[in-house]
Each structure stands twice: as C-alpha cells, then as structure tokens.
Structure 1
C-alpha cells in the first residue's frame, strides 16, 4: 500500500463516522443553520470521496475520466462553500449572513460553470489524450476557487475561534490548521497546472508535496469540525461513568435505609438485584433517586441518632439507630444533621453519602 492509498483509507475511516455523527446531531437541532452547513460540508466531502476513487489514481495535472472528475470537483467546491456559509451564519446576523452567502455563491457558480463547459467540450478520447489546454482550464477553475474558499475559511475560523467556547475554539483552531495546509496545497496545485500548461517539466517533489499538503488538510478539517461534539460526548460519558460508580458505592447505605423505610422509594417498580448490578440504562435518573432516597432515610433516622451517645463511628451509631427503629422504639423529638456535605451541590451530597456508605459496608448488619 503506497502512501497515497494509506492516506485515502485514513481519510475515509475518519470522514464517514464524522458525517454520521453530524447527521445525528442535526436530528436533535434541525433548525440550526450553522449545523446544517457543517453537515452539508461533510456530506459534500463524503460524496466527492468515491467519485475521486472512480476517476482513478491520478494527480494533477494528469486527469482521470472527465465525468466523475467533474462531479468530484463540484462536490469539493460545495464543501468549501458550505464552510464559508457555516462561518457566516455563525458570526453574523441571519439577514446579513444570507446576503453574504449569495455573494459567495457567485465565484462558486462561475467555477462550476467553467468546469462544466470544459467537460462538455472535452473530446471523447482516453484521459491521457485530453487536450492540455482543456485539462489545465478545468483544474485552474477548480483550484482557484478551492484555494480562495479555503484561505477565506482559514481566516474566518481563526477570527471566530477567539470568541467561541473552549471546545469549539480548539476545534476551529485544528480546522484552521487544516485550512492553512489546504490553501498552501491549492496554491501549489495552481503552480503545477500552470507549469504543465506551458509544457515545462514538473518536478516530482512538487507533485508529491501537493499530496502531502492536501490530504492531511482534509483529515484535520474533519477532526476539527467534529471535535466540539466529540469532546461534549466524552465529557458526558465521564459524568455518566461517575454517576454509575457513585450509584453502586451508595448501595450499602441505600439498602439499609430502604429496608427501614421502603415507603420512601421514588420508584414503584424496583430493579431486581442482578438487573440493578448490570443495567446501564437510566443511570442519571437512578443516581438522583438513590441520593434523594438516602437523604430522606437519613432525615427519618436522624432522631434515633441524636438520641444515642456520640461515641463511636457514625456507621456504628447508624446501625444501632436502625436497630432501634426496627424494634419500633418511640421516635425521639429532635433530629440532627447526618453526613453533612462540604458544598451545596448534589454531587457534594453524594460524596458525603459515599463516605458513610463505605464505612457502613464493614459495619455489622
């Protein structure tokens, strides 16, 4: 497998999962214009990818079959236009962004028109026999627009990243690096096409440089545009994992209190023990319920705790208080704070309950 094929494989492995992810996000916010533009960008990229493979393993200015080559470059131009619209609708009022989008459509339409006319006038011969002027005009129309659009996107991305949220700013900076590579690669492609048009010999190093500039730029672009959503999901996954862990850590305390006060359960359909241990669904809901149920139980048992001597650990005294409740002893009048958290948040409360639950685990039932 040569380096170009390897880059193509990596590109495809990153591209299509990123497109599926953006489509999923779009279903959650169908009226978000900026998200539509990012999804359209990745969709154009995904559509151009198999067309480029269909055109053949070619490097500019050596063409492949003109029909798939034409549609490949139309989708690539659509990719760049979608990027421009993304930044416009993200940074400007809707009316102003719409006007700028129509203005940006003029160079896009011009480039597509030139490529389409050139493709129609191309003689029906093998690609190696295409006229040099026709091939050069086709690639120049595409490369000039792509370089202009990518350079503009690089400028917009870096400017927009200054006032964006941290995750979005990081993603935009990664994408802007991809744009910078792409703009330099586009300028190099323009030079290659011009050298070819005048009939001069193109240095092999220059041709290879375009490959190693354009392909990494595409990968950085996909990673940068996908980073904010992926970072958000990773953060959500960390919270989910912490809630699941805390839910099970509070288990010993909840079990004792639930046995004493089963009527305090917020759920009327409790999970069986094995499903409770293995279930990965509704973690946040079960976590909140368990913390609240533990607090309710501690409030109800606190008068018994206040009535006991304060010698010994809280776990031992809680065990003795639960025994007193089980013996149906009269409820003392006043209660006391139990397992007071350091902060005022629910997670602070959960940490205090975890400490009590862990110490209670070793206490006699």
Structure 2
C-alpha cells in the first residue's frame, strides 16, 4: 500500500465507512473488498492483506443487513438458554460457539432470566428484533411448549433436550444408557442395591436418569431405595450424603452429576466412611476435575463437544435446506471406571 496515499475520508467526518472507502485506500475494486469481507478464497494473499489492512485502518465493519439482503442470510445463530451455571449448559454452549465459528457463523446469546412462560416467550419475541438465521434452544421442552411460541418466518430451531418427541429436532446425550451403565456397574460389583441422588424434578435429564436407575434395579430383582433429590450442586450432595451415611444398608450410590458426587465424597469422609471400601460412588458427566477427586471418580462420560457439533450441523442443514434425519439425535455415553467403586464390604 502506498505510504503517501491519503484516506478518502475527510478529518472530522463521522459517517459509516463504506466498501468504496476501503477499495479506494487499498487500491482495489469494491468487488475485491466484497470477496475479502465474505471470506472468498479467490483473492491472492498479498491483495487480501492489503484489503484487511485498509479495513483495520478505516475501522470498516461489514454491513450485515446489506449482506443478508444480498445473500438471504445473516450468518448468525441465536442460542436461547436459561442458565450457564450447570456444567452441561456451559460446555454445550462452548462447543456450539466453536463449531459455529468454524462454519463462519456468529452467535447471539438470548438468556431467559426466569424459567417461566413469560420469560421464554419474551426471549422468542426478541428474535423478531435480531438478525438470526436459526435458533438453538438449551432448556426444557415443557417451558418451550408452555410459552405458545411463534417463531419468525424462516427461522430454524434445534432443541438440546431429551424429551422433545416428534415436535422438535432434538440433540442430546443418551441419558438412559448412561444411567443404566452406572447402576449396572454397581450391581455387577455385588451391591445388594444402589441408592440414587437425583437432580431437580423439573429437569427431564434428571428424570430420565432416575427412571432408568429404578428400572435397572427392578430388572435385577433388587429393592429400590427411596430416591433422594438434589439440585445439581455439591452442597446438596453433601447434605444428602450426611443422611445416607446413617443408612446401614447404603454401600453404593449413583449421583446424577459429578458435582453432587463430590458432595457425597466429602460427606462420607466427614462421617468416617472410606470410599470405596465402605461405600461406592458413581457420578454422571465426567468433568475434567473428576480425576482429581479423592478418590478419582467413576462416572458416566457425556460428550458435550459432540452435542454442540451436532446442534450446529443439524440447524445449518435446515438453513441450507439439505436433507437430514428428523427427530432425536442421541450422542453416546459410556462409563469411565476409576477408583471410587469396588465390591461391597464383606
């Protein structure tokens, strides 16, 4: 780029920088600037860098609205979710962002402050004001149904949920298979029954895991202990663990997530019980920290990266009108055997 070439913008002028301004500064055509802005590979490297330098110097930002009128898409995916406090939601969102970026799409996050009908309806109403081509919903389907949602024309939807049925395209981990593996592992070790610390009652994932735990014990002809209900937190696991430590027949516990399993480990330690000598514990999630628990936690692995990838893949297939399977796509789960489980005490 010539060192003495002057910017086409006069000092003090505060108008939006145009593609023509970038072209004039870079010494190329507006068509070349358009190709660089849209990521076309047909522009040679030196010219591309020249255009990008001009864009940075002028503070040029592509006009997404104009691009949408020309190409019929905004290249943006909306993500509606209730909370980032749970590991599953945060790691799924992280994967969605990464895979969307790899496809050249940006993410617009639309949080639902309160998980009520009005809250969900308000989030979808905002879609009318936002430039998105598709929506990925990370929340319970019953909230989505209760809001009597009307989507903007042409907006495609994928739901991250285990109970969407035939009403929505769904991506989720195989909750039932994971819960069966966890319960069966403890039964096969010789425990006479398995206690369960479930997640919140309003969570379909928690209910699917609890239902499968119960069915697995019944199929094995073993008694089903009273279900204990937590809230996904380590504190709730600790509180329930203090109670289970007083149960003389409690030698095995399946926790519905790793955080509650961590609380159980602390509670049993506080009560003088050794894991896994006195009681075995299995979690669900396979958090990166699970290997650092004392002892390292046996748990069910959820592949959140694959969930995010499938969400983006399926919703973009809808946007591009490409053929795909309709219904639920289940990402496999598997048991990771570590040191928190063993046969029951003699």
Q: What TM-score does the superposition give when structure 2 sets the normalisation length?
A: 0.21
- Structure that is richer in helix per residue: 1
Q: What TM-score does the superposition give when structure 1 sets the normalisation length?
A: 0.21
Higher RCO (C-alpha under 8 Å, 6+ residues apart): 2
